[in-house]
Each structure stands twice: as C-alpha cells, then as structure tokens.
C-alpha cells in the first residue's frame, strides 16, 4: 500500500550521506534523484524513503509524532543500523533492545531509535523469538 515516505530537509547534499549509509546496510541504494529530492529503495520492492526540500519553499521542520521505521532482517542488523546512524551524524533516541511483551507466538518487538541530523525520528526494528 505505501510506495514511499518523504522527510523534509534544509540541506539535501549534507544529509544524503546519512541515508546512503543506512540504505547500504539494508542492501539498497538511491532509486531516484533530482536537484531537490533523493529516494532510496528498490523499484518494485518495499516502501522507499525520500529526502526532499519542501515544495512550498518554506523551511523543513520535524513532524511531532512522525517516525519512519526501517524493517531489519534481525536484531544484529537493528544494532548495525543504529550504530551507522550515530556514526553519520544522527542522535540516539533509544538503544536497540526488546520493547513490550512477547505476542501470542512468542515474538517480541525489537527496535533501536534515532534521529537524523535534522531531527527526523527513525527506528530500525524486527521481531525476535523470545
């Protein structure tokens, strides 16, 4: 249902390397690129992520309550993405680890939270067997 999501940026070239590094860990690259917009993902694959200068010309701002989640392969990749985010100018919003109680199948939500250099909130997550 969701093809891609976009986050605003005030400096596309400065902030693109943050997403290049995360996309590389997830096995994808840039799938679309223009002067004011870059999208990462794979055409025909899962939902992609775009970073864009706002079309209306106003400054990009962080959405309160907005978060984009990257689906990781396993808990190890959750840790790697979190580390990559911090190493590329991101800030920590919650170290990787289990969240909540196991579901009826014994699976637990496992996530690490971080912000990009402009303050957009993101996470990497997977389900792990408890």
Structure confidence by residue, pLDDT tens digits, 73-127: 999 999 999 999 999 999 999 999 999 999 999 999 999 999 999 999 999 999 9
Element (H, E) at 40: strand 37-41
Q: What's the start-to-end Cα distance of the chain, in Å?
A: 30
Fold of 4-53+68-129: 2,3-Dihydroxybiphenyl 1,2-Dioxygenase; domain 1 (3.10.180)
Name the residue among 68, 114, 70 with its Cα closest to residue 92. Answer: 114
Element (H, E) at 19: helix 12-25
Name the residue among 73, 68, 59 with its Cα closest to residue 28. Answer: 73
Give the global pTM: 0.91
The residue ranges of every structural domain in the chain are 4-53+68-129
Query: Using an 8 Å Cβ cutoff, are 95 and 112 in contact?
Result: yes
User: Is residue 1 over pLDDT 80?
Assistant: no
């Amino acid at each position: 249902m969701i093809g891609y999501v976009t986050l605003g940026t005030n400096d596309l070239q400065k902030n693109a390397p943050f997403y290049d590094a995360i996309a590389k860990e997830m096995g994808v690259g840039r799938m679309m690129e223009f002067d004011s917009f870059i999208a990462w993902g794979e055409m025909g694959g899962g939902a992609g992520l775009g970073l864009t200068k706002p079309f209306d010309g106003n400054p990009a701002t962080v959405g309160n309550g907005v978060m984009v989640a990257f689906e990781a392969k396993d808990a190890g990749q959750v840790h790697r993405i979190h580390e990559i985010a911090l190493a590329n100018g991101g800030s920590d919003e919650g170290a990787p680890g289990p969240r909540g109680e196991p579901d009826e199948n014994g699976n637990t939500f496992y996530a690490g939270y971080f912000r990009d250099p402009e303050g957009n909130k993101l996470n990497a997550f997977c389900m792990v067997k408890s």
